[in-house]
């Protein structure tokens, strides 16, 4: 399994690059790379600012020129095209608590059911930017981009997909479900992320 991290540039609502924000003395991007390095054949970082991540020992790719600037779907296409394994996890860089145990379970569900994608849902909201995908969908992703159907939901509607919810997961993953799929977009979200991190580290210390 490869892990594809989508690392956009400056966020309009955050005002700065979310991947470079520090939580628990680590940049978000470093947290994700550290979390997924042990379960991934390779980590592919999709960014249009490759020079920012020169210090990382990962495969760094920019969106293919044909679809550059066309949002996360272009990143999904570039990442899956670069992947060398049949299955990949796709994770957005604004999800600092995306658990590798959760990712491993999503990928296992993908393989077991031979799905094109396994996408988690929380309170009725899909989280396609923390999901497991089969590389065989690359032509479908490309077709969406060519036809200017740039929403990830446009892609999902064409896939043999499984939606998983909290109650479908093992008990230990249910306990971390909300944190794993939590994402930050604003300064207030960042402040909350710091609080979540302190809580998680406190829980681990008590154990």
Q: Which CATH superfamily is domain 2-206 in?
A: Spore Coat Polysaccharide Biosynthesis Protein SpsA; Chain A (3.90.550.10)
| DSSP letter (8 states) at residue 47 | -
Residue 168 pLDDT > 90:
yes
Report yes or no: 100 and 14 within 8 Å, Cβ to Cβ. no
Least confident of 14-18, 70-74, 116-120, 166-170: 14-18
- Does residue 204 or residue 96 have the better pLDDT? 96
Known binding residues for GTP: 6-8, 18, 63, 94
Residue 6 pLDDT > 80:
yes
The predicted-structure confidence for 53-93, as pLDDT tens digits, reads as follows 999 999 999 998 999 989 999 999 999 999 999 999 999 99
How far apart are the C-alpha atoms of 178 and 175, rounded to whole Å? 8
Q: Which two tokens stand for residue 56?
A: 């990382």
How far apart are the C-alpha atoms of 133 and 162, rounded to whole Å? 11
The predicted-structure confidence for 192-206, as pLDDT tens digits, reads as follows 999 999 999 886 544
Known binding residues for Mg(2+): 94
Known binding residues: 6-8, 18, 63, 94
């Amino acid at each position: 399994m490869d892990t594809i991290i989508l690392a956009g540039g400056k966020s309009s609502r955050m005002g700065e690059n979310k991947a470079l924000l520090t939580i628990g003395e680590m940049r978000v991007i470093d947290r994700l790379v550290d979390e997924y390095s042990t379960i991934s054949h390779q980590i592919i970082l999709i960014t249009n600012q490759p020079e920012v991540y020169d210090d990382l020992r990962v495969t760094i790719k920019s969106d293919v020129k044909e679809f550059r600037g066309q949002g996360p779907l272009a990143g999904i296409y570039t990442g899956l095209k670069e992947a060398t394994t049949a299955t990949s996890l796709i994770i957005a860089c604004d999800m600092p608590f995306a658990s590798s145990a959760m990712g491993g379970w999503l990928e296992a569900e993908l393989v077991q059911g031979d799905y094109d994608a396994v996408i988690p849902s929380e309170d009725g909201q899909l989280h396609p930017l923390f999901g497991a995908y089969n590389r065989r969908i690359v032509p479908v992703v490309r077709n969406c981009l060519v036809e200017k159907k740039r929403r990830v939901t446009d892609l999902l509607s064409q896939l043999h997909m499984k939606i998983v919810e909290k109650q479908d997961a093992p008990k230990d993953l249910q306990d971390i479900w909300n944190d794993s799929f939590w994402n930050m977009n604003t300064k207030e979200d960042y402040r909350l992320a710091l609080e979540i991190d302190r809580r998680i580290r406190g829980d681990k210390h008590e154990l």
